[in-house]
Amino acid sequence: MTALADLREGLRFDPAVTTAFEACRMAQLDLALEDPRVMSVEADLGDCWGLKFREEMPDRFLDFGIAEASAVGAAAGLAMSGKRPFLNTFGTFALMRAAEQVRLDICYHRAPVVIAGMFTGIAAGFSGPTHHAIEDVSVARSLPNLTVIAPADAVQAYDATKAAFALGAPVYLRLGVEPGPQVYDAHEPFEIGRGRVLREGGSLTIVTCGVTIVPEVLKAASLLGDARVVDMPTIKPIDRDLLVRCARETGRVVTVEEHSTIGGLGSAVAEVLAEDAPVPLRMVGLPDAFVKEIGDYGEQLRRHGLDAAGIEREVRAWLS
């Protein structure tokens, strides 16, 4: 894969080893250097790739300590007064511990806060179920006024962060924790609400999103042969037109996500297809259960059939 540094002047990270969350942090810093309204709101996890921001602009790095309700409420207050806060914390803590603050303070008031959620999915494999966010998309998707984006890699995370900022409305970014294989080898304007066909194919469409998962799906698709792959980073509002077109053209749809199959990408796709293009659908994701085993990320994905081999196996079993 072409090194990104060759493709774009000024790029300062190696996307092969940079996490999506780290890339999001870099975009935040770049935005902050251009725009004095940008603030970083923290809940004692600034240590996770946030130290450069703190060092460069300490007065705009606002740590609320281990107190998410207060951090979310204050972020909303800052946004209502014309600031442009990014709220950086674990996905579980923002969207579940402080869910009502997100709902009322941010979403109801359309306060332009970008919630950057790290440690999403089961990437924090050794940390155990307290630190897995396998329901965050379900919560986020149900909240009015909240846009939900799960980038596929660090490059897209950087671009999506800038797009989320430009939107000027509440956004949840789902950013994983491990660096994943690179999917995009050049920056491009990120269009919120638009999916992208990454691989052509005619016998079925696999719709997916998220760090590591998108590359695993691409590998699975090449093993399967004639499978189309759609990267759907914006889970809400979802790209209905693209979904309907792919369903009609390929006749079958599979969704793959590192999230409970209740309420996540699969559900979002099912809602569209059931209404506008009913075709056979298979949802591949995490079961409706807490993940009790610990292990490294790769091992966790294998256990749950979310590596390329597992995805291929699941799709073949469904087709047979």
Partner 1 sequence: MVNDLSAKARTLREHIVHLAADSPGAHVGGSMSAVEILTTLYFDGVLRVDPANPDDPQRDRLIFSKGHSSAAYYAALAEAGFFPVSELDTYKKSGSRLAGHPHTGIPGVELATGSLGHGLPVGVGLAMADSDVRVFVIVGDGECQEGSIWEAAMAAAHYRLDNLVVIVDRNGIQEDGPTEEIMALEPFADKWRAFGWATVEVDGHDIGELSNVLHEVPLTWGRPTCVIAKTVKGKGLSFSENTNTWHYGHLSEDLKAQALRELGGVR
Binding residues for partner 1, per CB under 8 A? 62, 64-65, 67, 69-83, 100-101, 104-105, 108-109
Q: How far is the CB of 67 from partner 1 (least distance, A)?
A: 4
Strands 253-260 and 204-208: parallel
Identity of the residue numbered 85: P
Q: Which is nearer to partner 1, 71 or 315 (by Cβ)? A: 71
Q: How far is the CB of 137 from partner 1 (least distance, A)?
A: 24
Phi first, then psi: what are they for 4, rounded to 5°?
A: -65, -35
* Least distance in angstroms from the C-beta of 90 to partner 1: 17
CA angle (240, 213, 12) in 5-degree steps: 100
Nearer residue to partner 1 within complex by CB, 39 or 160: 39
Distance, CA of 279 to chain centre: 26
C-alpha–C-alpha distance, residues 296 and 200, integer Å: 32
Cβ proximity to partner 1, 72 vs 315, nearer residue: 72
As given in the structure block, the two tokens for residue 2 are: 């072409």
Question: Could you tell me if 285 and 259 are in contact, meaning their C-beta atoms sit under 8 angstroms apart?
Answer: yes
Q: Which is nearer to partner 1, 99 or 254 (CB)?
A: 99
**Residue whose token pair is 């807490």:** 290
Residue (of 257, 311, 25) closest to 122 by Cα position: 257
User: Residue 60 Cβ, how far from partner 1 at the closest point, in Å?
Assistant: 10
Tell the smallest beta-carbon distance from residue 5 to partner 1 (Å): 38
Nearest CB to partner 1, comparing residues 65 and 168: 65
